[in-house]
Amino acid sequence: MSYEKKLMQMKKMIKKEPTAPTQKSSYEKPAPPLYSERWEQAGLTRIDNDFGTVFKYEVTYDEQYRHGQYALGMLDDVMMRWEEAGLTHPYATDSDETLLFFDTETTGLKGVGTHIFLLGFLERRGKNFVLTQYVLADPAHEAAMFFESKLWQREATVVTYNGKSFDWPQLQTRWTFSQGVIPRLREQRQIDLLHSSKRLWKNDLAQMKLKQVEEQKLGFVREDDIPGHLAPIIYMDAIKSGETSSLLKVLKHNEWDLLSLITLYIHLSITLFEEATNETVVAYTNVGKWYADLKQHARSEEVLTNVTQSYEAYETFTAHYYLGLQRKKRAQYDEALASFLEGRKAEDMRISLQSYEEAAKIYEHTYKAYDDAYQLTTAALQKVHIDRTLPWKSKEAFEQRLQHRLKRLMKKREIN
Amino acid sequence: MLSKKKTVDALVAAWQQDAAMAERIEAIRTIEATAATYAPLPSDMQPSLVKALHARGIEQLYTHQREAFDYAMAGQSFTAITPTASGKSYCYHLPVLQTILTNRHARALYLFPTKALAQDQKSDLHALIEAMDEEILSYTYDGDTAPGIRQKVRKAGHIIMTNPDMLHSGILPHHTKWVSLFENLQYVVIDELHTYKGVFGSHVAHVIRRLKRICAFYSSDPLFICTSATIKNPKELAESLTNTAHALIAKSGAPTGKKTFVFYNPPMLHPAFGVRRSAVLEVRDIAKQLYDAHIQTIVFAKSRVRVEMLVTYLQAFTKHQLQDTTIRGYRGGYLPSERRVIEKGLRDGEIRTVVSTNALELGVDIGQLQACIMTGYPGNIASAWQQAGRAGRRQDSALIIYVAQSTALDQYMIEHPDFFFGSEPEEARISPDNMLILMDHLKCAAFELPFRTNDLYGEFHIEELLDYLVDEHVLFKTSDTWHWMNERFPAHDISLRSAAQENVVIIDQSVPAHTRVIGEMDTYSAMTLLHEEAIYMHQGVQFQVETLDWDEKKAFVRQVDVDYFTDANLAVELKVMSEDKELVLSDAKIGFGDVSLLAQATIFKKIRFDSHDNIGSGPIHLPPMEMHTTATWLSFTPPSQLSKEQLTDVLHYVAYTINSFIPLFIHCDRADVHVVPQVKAVHNELPTIFVYDSYPGGIGLSEKVYDMWRPLLEKAREHITRCRCENGCPACIGAQATFDEPKQQAIRVMTQLRELFN
């Protein structure tokens, strides 16, 4: 109620006037903030350009530098491997490409009023890796920061974690505010590593937060990290008070994110080449499935065959199902049937039922073995009936499909 | 079996022969059909547009459509008064399409008050574009728009049809995704302008100011085209809503069919008390006659409760038929899917009688209805005409039956049938000045684009307010600019529709394993309609509220079958906080200013169906609602001849009458203003009558009343004097007499008050 009361008191102060069309004023370069010196003392470099002030923080890493279980320099190896493999894959890169690992910190979640206050980049430069962070001096200096980032000028492949749906669109949004002041933002090739994390680990990891991925897959544990959701408050406080100690922690947080982006890219690439030693059967099965979805059928079959040969039989039922699909595609029906019969034992009810269906199809259409097909279909129906896991809708769909097949098979059995 | 089908004219003729009916029908008025006035198609109209009109058999325009076209081409924003079935959509479609045909980059934004209306207009527009054989893209953009096509809509849609809520929270805060719309926006069309009144209208006025601010950022300056039902001040409302000068097109060139108005007064039960038979019961009987005669009818009732009561009564006609759906209810609070089914049933003719609150006043396309019954006066002339317009949209003879209740305003209307035809409609008021609403949208505006020194927001100077928001850690000021600097997404915290901004969800737990949400209600109404033990009705089914979880805003109900409904009391306490205007009369004072108010639901009564007897009551335990708002008040020296008890009663009588007549002067919903008498007002210890806005911060209604005390008192006094009852009745001073000559005392006090103005 006190808010309401205050507003009622302020009512007297409101003046009105008929609106005249407003004239758009040309860009005026804002004055540097009062706390510039304090920020410089904290180790940030002040840059003044035609559009205002931006603060920069730079760190150089040797290529031998290890972040978790990988040295940064391994990036060259995996890029080379991609080139040699000649595969079509969203993560494939070639050695001509400049990879720019990119992450932002913002003052909120979405909408045009959310500011980007930190642009973080990490890239290969000569023998080293260079981390560059641009910190928004205050909201008036946004154009200065964007201009300095050179994102309007240079060409690079931008590698992010959830950047396709968050960082990049938000950058486009905020860049619009400086339209007519600085050059347009250049469109770049985007690689979003969150996408692959979801594909490979959806059955392995409870959360897809970068922090979880670091700890469980990259061998890195943060110490004295600030939680990401505090970043907005820390920045707001830093531009009000000029205080930098917490702000530096946000910079550190962003730095870890960027380092992890490199090692995550390395790790994912190695996994896609089947060379990661600490990966699970689930992840490798997902790799095989991913290649299949990309229509890289030979590669998919190769990966899945490897899975079925390298792991214990009880771990590979799902892989068998996907392998069966590949074999069926190549008309290797005997092998496909064998795989589907294995796939029936998968824990995932959907995979199991689909294996039943696929096997029944081969019996019915290829071998005209209606009794076998009938038996499998009946067994699958029983499984559906006692199931407690499927959503109602898919349960119903399975039931309908199986009943339909059963009816048809009954007819075919009578005729023959 | 003999068909009982009858025409409207035959039925009216039969009524005039029937002695009982003839006595109750106080007046019949007929509006004869009028011919159309035409103007030629504009000579520069694009050939494909002309072709499409010809294909629909249109060789010339109604005069108002041509006027609209000419204004738009001259770059003048305008507002057109458009009665139902006058071809209003051509007032905007034609200039918009013409402009797009000459400039393929041009864009238009259509705003409809509801999602349903936008959907409805879309099919109409699509058909027109198809007949033109042109590549013009029009889309609805609302919560139902599939994510897959949103990008296309944003980038390529020539015409975007949406509602103010979506514009507020889905488009403006993401304007960078709509650059091609905002850079090329040439028209903003606001359909059903008259619905933008009160709190909702005040909110929308700010949404439009934000829209204009964003257009200016992208260097566009759209024209505004508004269409409105008949109200007193369409031009003023449009200008206040859009902060833009408008031309007015007041005269429609469309023809109208014959309309017969029947003014029906329920029979008197107790002449001494002035109590008439319940209008609801009368409506039930009349609706049955129309149902039997196969005349498709819409019945309007003022409240949700009334709608549900009528549905219950009416469905009793058909209860021997299984799964009968010829009689349905339709009101806010039903789920959208339910409403779509009903709308379709009406168009198909499968539904023969529909009972509705004012939800159907809006232009939802339900095809032709032959008759309309108003259960009581809807509160203002504009609404009455809107409701009447529901009958006979596309045919010749239409029947409108007004059934009066025992209240003052209703009886006034039935005694003055010509008032309905002759008088000016009321004003529709909005108040963009409301501080709370202004502040809400100022935050949204600051989120959307930073403010710079000397920037105006709409017509407002806002530097102090922006500095206040800096103090509140919402904005951050650099040398000359205020930037948004907060984690919140302000549009999500602000709802355009409801004063209390939060709704109570109604959950049916009749079947424990299958609890389901059956509706929702704003918190202010919930205090008196969803308290524990309240009977809540939904599609004619009775539910009893078992638990009301006020903190979580959930009401748990269970289906019951009882023979009563419930009616709750709201007690109100008022304190004057500041006095902005004052008028001192010889023995009295009129004031206007800010008040603080405490409202609390106290008790409820159980009232039996049919007899409407009071058969029980109980307390309501809910926390009071506190509110700061604006009010006008009249204080006067207590008349010496009255005891304190008598004075209390007389004040209530006066307040009751005044309350009844306020809607004659300002266009508002019944619940938008309240009249509360106090024998000893806290601020001056004098007998005082308060009129306050029932929305935090006020929306300018009581401010208007401040200037109208004199005509208001005159109208009220005249009505009481003329009332034929002996000692006061619901049609004049309301409550039952508790002491001698209550009516005479009320008249004496009102005469005294009126004389103060001489």
What are the structural domain ranges in chain A?
36-272, 280-344, 348-416
**B476 chain-A contacts, CB cut-off 8 A:** 138-139, 236, 239-240
Q: Strands B673-678 and A66-67, how do they pair?
A: unpaired
Calculate mean pLDDT across residues B238-265: 92
Same domain, B376 and B524: no
Neighbours of B416 (CB within 10 A): 15
B402-412 confidence digits (pLDDT tens) = 999 877 788 88
Neighbouring CB atoms inside 10 A of B2's CB total: 4
pLDDT per residue as tens digits for the range B626-644: 888 899 999 988 887 778 8
Q: Is A236 helix (H, G, I), strand (E, B) or coil?
A: helix
Which residues in chain B have Cβ-Cβ distances shorter than 8 Å to A19? 243, 456, 458-459
In a domain, B498, yes or no: no
> Which one-letter DSSP state was computed for residue B96?
H
User: Is B3 within a domain?
Assistant: no
Asked if B480 and B491 count as a contact pair (C-beta separation under 8 A), the reply is no
Distances (CA, A) of B754 to B294, B714, B757: 51, 7, 6
Cα dist from A188 to A148, B52, B579, whole Å: 17, 45, 62
B311 in helix, strand or coil? helix
Helices (H), B218-357: 234-242, 279-292, 304-315, 336-348
Order of strands, sheet of A116-125, starting from the edge strand that comes earlier in the sequence: A45-49, A52-62, A128-136, A116-125, A99-106, A157-160, A189-192
Neighbours of A199 (CB within 10 A): 15
Co-location of B154 and B133 in the same domain: yes
A172 and B179 in contact by Cβ < 8 A? Answer: no
Residue B75, Ramachandran bin (φ over 0: left; ψ between -120 and 50: alpha; else beta): left
Residue with tokens 């307390």: B619
pLDDT at B222 (0 to 100) = 97
Kindly state whether B475 is in contact with chain A, defined as any CB-CB distance less than 8 angstroms.
no
Lowest mean pLDDT among A60-64, B6-10, B209-213, B363-367: B363-367
What pLDDT is stored for residue B380 in this prediction?
A: 76
Residue A23 reports pLDDT greater than 80: no
Min CA distance, B459 vs chain A (Å)?
A: 5
CA–centroid distance for B344 within its chain: 23
Is the distance from CB of A137 to CB of A49 less than 8 angstroms?
no
Q: Are residues B697 and B642 in the same domain?
A: yes
Inspect the interface and report whether the beta carbons of A140 and B486 lie closer than 8 Å: no
Residue B165: pLDDT band (50, 70, 90) is very high
pLDDT tens for A274-311 read: 888 788 899 999 999 999 999 999 999 999 999 999 98
CB–CB of B456 and A115 under 8 A?
Answer: no
Q: Would you call A10 and B446 a contact, using CB atoms and an 8 Å cutoff?
A: no
Do residues B521 and B541 both lie within one domain? Answer: yes
The one-letter amino acid code at B689 reads I
What does the angle CA B613 – CA B616 – CA B619 come to, to the nearest 5 degrees? 135
Please indicate whether residue B208 or residue B749 has the higher confidence score (pLDDT). B208
pLDDT digits (tens, 9 = 90+) for B21-66: 888 999 999 988 888 899 999 999 999 999 999 999 999 999 999 9
The CATH number assigned to the domain holding B123 equals 3.40.50.300
* Average pLDDT for chain A: 91
Of residues B499 and A193, more confidence is placed in A193
Is A139 in contact with B179 (Cβ distance < 8 A)? no
Q: How far is B393 from chain A (nearest CA, A)?
A: 41
d(CA B40, CA B48): 16
Record: contact A4-B697, CB cut-off 8 A: yes
Asked whether the beta carbons of B386 and B247 are under 8 A apart, the reply is: no
Q: Is the pLDDT of residue B736 over 70?
A: no
Residue B498 has a pLDDT of: 55
Most confident of B92-101, B260-269, B491-500: B92-101
Residue B393 carries which side chain, given as an amino acid letter? Answer: R
In percent, the amount of chain A with pLDDT more than 90 equals 71
Alpha carbons A315 and B219: distance in angstroms, whole number: 63
3-state secondary structure of A26: coil
Taking the C-alpha atoms of residue B540 and residue B301, their distance in angstroms, rounded to an integer, is 14
pLDDT of residue B235: 95
Per-position DSSP letters for B543-559, written without gaps between them: EEEEEEETTTTEEEEEE
Is the CB of A184 inside 8 Å of chain B's CB atoms?
A: no
Distance of CA B374 to the CA centre of its chain: 15
Chain CA centroid to CA B102, Å: 38
A36-272 under CATH 3.40.50.300, yes or no: no
Least confident of B270-284, B672-686, B707-721: B270-284
DSSP string of B441-484, one letter each residue: HHHHHHHHS-EETT-EETTEE-HHHHHHHHHTTSEEEETTEEEE
**What residues of chain A lie within 8 A of the CB of B626, using their CB?**
1
Distance, CA of A53 to CA of A140 (rounded, Å)? 9
Highest mean pLDDT among B156-165, B305-314, B433-442, B509-518: B156-165
The answer on pLDDT for B499 being more than 60 is no
Which pLDDT band holds residue B475 (cuts at 50, 70, 90)? very high
pLDDT digits (tens, 9 = 90+) for A324-372: 999 999 999 999 999 999 999 998 999 999 999 999 999 999 999 999 9
- Residue matched to tokens 């996907």: A322
> B383 CB contacts (<8 Å, ≥6 apart)?
B358, B361
Q: What's the confidence (pLDDT) of residue A15?
A: 79
First to last CA, chain B: 69
pLDDT of residue B362: 60
Separation CA B313–CA B609 (nearest Å): 10
In a shared domain, residues B136 and B15: no
Q: Between B755 and A282, where is the model more confident?
A: A282
> Judging by DSSP bridges, how do beta strands A66-67 and A70-71 pair with one another?
antiparallel
Decide if B698 touches A, using CB distance below 8 A: no
Q: What ipTM was predicted for this assembly?
A: 0.82
Backbone angles phi, psi at B646, to 5 degrees: -60, -40
The alpha carbon of B5 is separated from its chain's Cα centroid by a whole number of angstroms, namely: 35
> According to the per-residue pLDDT averaged within each range, which of A42-51, B579-588, B615-624 is highest?
A42-51
The minimum CA-CA distance between A66 and chain B, rounded to whole Å, is 35
| Domain A280-344 in this protein, CATH class | mainly alpha
CA separation for the pair A234, B651 (Å, rounded)? 59
CA A334 from chain center: how many Å? 38
**Residue B284: inside a domain:** yes
Is A112–B173 a contact, with Cβ atoms under 8 angstroms apart? yes
Q: What average pLDDT score do residues B646-656 get?
A: 85
Residue B64's identity, in one-letter code, is H
Q: Residues 6 or more apart from A160 whose CB is under 8 A from it?
A: A101, A102, A103, A167, A168, A190, A191, A192, A193, A194, A261
- Counting one residue from chain A and one from chain B, the pairs whose CB atoms sit within 8 A come to 126
Residue B671: inside a domain, yes or no? yes
Q: Chain A within 8 Å of B757 (Cβ-Cβ)?
A: no
Task: For residues B210 and B344, state if they share a domain.
Answer: no
Q: Which of A335-349, B258-272, B311-325 has the lowest mean pLDDT?
A: B311-325
- Domain presence at residue B580: yes
Q: Domain of B623?
A: 571-755
Regarding whether B405 and B275 lie in a shared domain, the answer is: yes
- What's the pLDDT score for residue B519? 73
Within 10 angstroms of residue B331's Cβ, the number of other Cβ atoms is 22
Q: Among B504, B492, B529, B118, which Cα is nearest to B336's?
A: B118
Instruction: Domain count for chain B, please give it.
Output: 5
Q: pTM of whole model > 0.90?
A: no
The DSSP letter of residue A225 is P
pLDDT at B219 over 80: yes
Bigger pLDDT: B426 vs B540:
B426
Q: What single DSSP character describes residue B267?
A: P
Beta-bridge mates of residue A60: A130
Q: Judge if B443 and B516 occupy the same domain.
A: no
Q: Quick one: pLDDT at residue B465?
A: 93
Could you tell me how far CA B729 lies from the centroid of its own chain? 28
- Rounded to a whole number, what is the distance in Å from the CA of A3 to chain B's nearest CA? 9
User: What pLDDT is attached to residue B488?
Assistant: 87
Token couple for A19:
């609106």
Smallest CA–CA distance, residue B625 to chain A, in Å, is 11
Put simply, the answer to whether A115 touches B436 (Cβ < 8 Å) is: no
Decide if pLDDT at B97 tops 70. yes
**Residue B1 within any structural domain of the chain:** no
Instruction: Examine residue B549 and state whether it is found in any structural domain, yes or no.
Output: yes
Which of A5, A6, A7, A174 to mutate: most B Cβ within 10 Å?
A7
B500 has a pLDDT exceeding 50:
no
Query: How confident is the model over A53-66, as a mean pLDDT?
Result: 96
Distance CA A316, CA A310 (A): 9
Mean pLDDT of all residues belonging to chain B:
86
Residue in A108, A111, A177 nearest the CB of B174 = A111
Tokens of A100: 């720019």
A239: distance to nearest CA of chain B, Å? 9
Q: Compute the nearest-CA separation of A137 from chain B (Å).
A: 11
If you average pLDDT over residues A73-89, what whole number do you get? 89
Count other C-beta atoms under 10 Å from residue A345's C-beta.
16
Q: How sure is the predictor about B735, in pLDDT bands with cuts at 50, 70 and 90?
A: low
Same domain, B44 and B27: no
Residue carrying structure tokens 């889309």: B139
Asked whether residue B399 falls in the same domain as residue B513, the answer is: no
Chain B residues lying within 8 Å of A33, measured CB to CB: 478
Whether residue B63 is found in the same domain as residue B145: yes
H or E stretch at B140: strand B138-140
Question: Phi, psi at residue A322, to the nearest 5°?
Answer: -65, -35
Q: Do B470 and B530 fall into the same domain?
A: no
pLDDT category at A120 given cuts 50, 70, 90 is very high
CB contact under 8 Å between A10 and B448, yes or no, is no
pLDDT tens sequence across B196-208 = 987 889 999 999 9
**DSSP assignment string, A97-125:** SPEEEEEEEESSSSSTTPPEEEEEEEEEE
B218 touches chain A (CB under 8 A): no
